[in-house]
Amino acid sequence: MQLTSTAYLVFLAAAFFLYWLLVRWRLARLALILLANYWFYALWDLSYLALIPTAGLLDYLAARGMAATRQPLLRGLLLLLSLAVNLGLMASLKFLPVWNSQWPWLLPLPLSFYCFQALSYTLDVYRKDTKPTSSLLAHLTALSLFPTIIAGPIARPASLLPQLEKPKPLDALEGSKALFLIAVGAIKKLLVADYLAENLVNRIFDFPTLYSGLEVLAGVYGYALQLYFDFSGYSDVALGSALLLGIKLPQNFNMPYAANNIAAFWQRWHISLSTWLRDYVYFSFPKLRTAYMPHFALIVTMVLGGLWHGATWNFLIWGALHGLGLSACRAWQAWRSGNTWNSPLSRGLATFWTFHFVCLGWVFFRATTLENALTILQQISSLTLSAANLSGTLLAIAALAVLGHCWPQKSYEKIQNAFAHAPVYAQAAILALLAYGIEYVAATGSAPFVYSQF
């Protein structure tokens, strides 16, 4: 069940009304959200009803055990149990069916984002950064929150548990902002990302030799926009869905292509994953007093991040590119004492080259094989300039996408507040027109979210 489907909106509406009817009773509201979570999983496959509660129970017991003992060896063994459960679950659902085609099963959701959330909880307890909850019901509910399960954002249980235990009343203003987020997410996904994918990106990457160098370059730019609007659109729908239940999730995107260095890009792109990798992978490396250790840790962290997307040469190269880029950026900032770009021109050029470095990585990220990626780059280097396959409508959608990405945050918030303060009938009319427009333009339905495969 995709988050932009009519079925999901009906499901969300049912969960919303029942939740606020039961909100005064702690056990009832937690049980309802947990039931909604597991119902959502079951719609994908009934096998999740065995996997997720079992993994959640083991994490709960491991966290409670780590808090109850001071023995380093026992605490380490309990942490290893949690690591084995979650990494094993992630690997078995994600990689084993790919590595061995004889495996008779392939579940539709890899559960990576569930495992990231679960590991953040047990690692925080192990590091004594948070205390474990005594409520198994709250624990299972926080780990499996349905808006985040397909593609995040990674919501750490340490921040979710207090919100589940003591929810804040949902006023009309917050509810309207939630609906606005869901509407914006649907626009991003259905009217921008899917259009670019269907009319440009898929064609270019599937048959690059049929297009000129200029058209292939446009396809790479198009994929950069498609991926951003697909993923940030999902995040908007997830944030809005959770907000309807009184839960605030972390922001996941902040104009990433406006970054003027690769480190700033990762502070703006998939923020919940980049901070997760920083906190639980990069900071786990031994703090040796050597100038090379931070650079080594950065490269290894990003390579692991690349291989998480898939055990292929393409993703390894993508991760290594970003690791080397981050290492070079760190060295440059250390040399310049953090004062890197002093003029608008230098900042503009830095943003230009950062964006193209990211696009180079996206070629390997999107290409089906290493040979496909090299063919894409070869076609671009041919410098052929035909634009016969770039229609005016396509260019207009791409221009609107660029404008949407660069839209100032303050202006966006003003529009959101204007919608939230509008009369109910005006909000309903806007949403109805939007639904009609989406149905008209995206009549063939929504393609799966890109990150649902990870």
Active site residues: 309
- The gap from C-alpha 440 to its chain's centroid, in whole angstroms, comes to 28
Distance of alpha carbon 85 from alpha carbon 121, whole angstroms: 13
Helix (DSSP H) and strand (DSSP E) numbers for the chain: 21, 0
My answer on whether omega of the bond before 97 falls inside 30° of 0, hence cis, is: no
Alpha helices in 310-408 (DSSP H): 313-335, 344-366, 370-381, 392-405
Q: In the numeric block, which tokens belong to residue 324?
A: 């080397």
Joined tokens for residue 183: 């509407």
Q: Is 393 exposed, middle or buried (0-12, 13-18, 19+ CB in 10 A)?
A: exposed
- Report DSSP state, residue 14: H
What percent of the chain is helix, strand and coil (3-state, nearest 5)? 75, 0, 25
Distances (CA, A) of 417 to 6, 174, 179, 248: 26, 10, 12, 17
List own/partner pairs for 447-450 with CB under 8 A and 24 or more apart. Answer: 447/194, 447/197, 447/198, 448/2, 449/2, 449/3, 449/150, 449/151, 449/189, 449/230, 449/231, 449/234, 450/151, 450/226, 450/227, 450/230, 450/231
Residue carrying the six token digits 């869905």: 241
Q: Is 367 helix (H, G, I), strand (E, B) or coil?
A: coil
- For the chain, what's the residue count? 454
Q: Is 261 helix (H, G, I), strand (E, B) or coil?
A: coil
